[in-house]
Amino acid sequence: EFIRGYGLDPPSTVGSTMVTDLSSGKSASAVDVNTVVFDEIPDDVVNAIVDEGECMFCAGGLMVEHPLLQPYLKRIEGSMDGVMGLDAQTVERLLNEFV
């Protein structure tokens, strides 16, 4: 049901990152919101993904990187890294605050 609904109501992920300079104690943090916009996902594609079983190990069954979903992926508002758990650009930006 989750996967089928993603074509109607785009899912979002929310992640937070904090880095700390241990020598100074200074910290910097950020929150990332990433939204995945899909076209309508056909029932046969949803069933194939569920039958494979891997989606059961992903939050909300969201497997944006899955090859069967790629034709229905319209855009990501944010980053693929952020959707999958840790936005690399955010980490780099926060680390650069200490350079």
Q: Report the CATH number that the domain containing residue 33 is assigned in CATH.
A: 3.90.950.10
- State the average pLDDT for the chain: 92
> Which percentage of the chain shows pLDDT scores above 70?
100
Confidence of residue 23 (pLDDT cuts 50, 70, 90): very high
- Each residue of 62-96: pLDDT tens digit? 888 999 999 999 999 999 999 988 999 999 999 99
Instruction: Note down the domain range covering 31.
Output: 2-96
Other C-beta atoms closer than 10 Å to the C-beta of 12 total 14
Q: What is the 3-state secondary structure (H, E, C) of 52-74?
A: HCHHHHCHHHCCCCCCCCHHHEE
Q: What does the pLDDT read at residue 37?
A: 96
Domain count, the chain: 1
Determine if residue 72 is left, alpha or beta; phi over 0 gives left, psi from -120 to 50 gives alpha, anything else beta: alpha
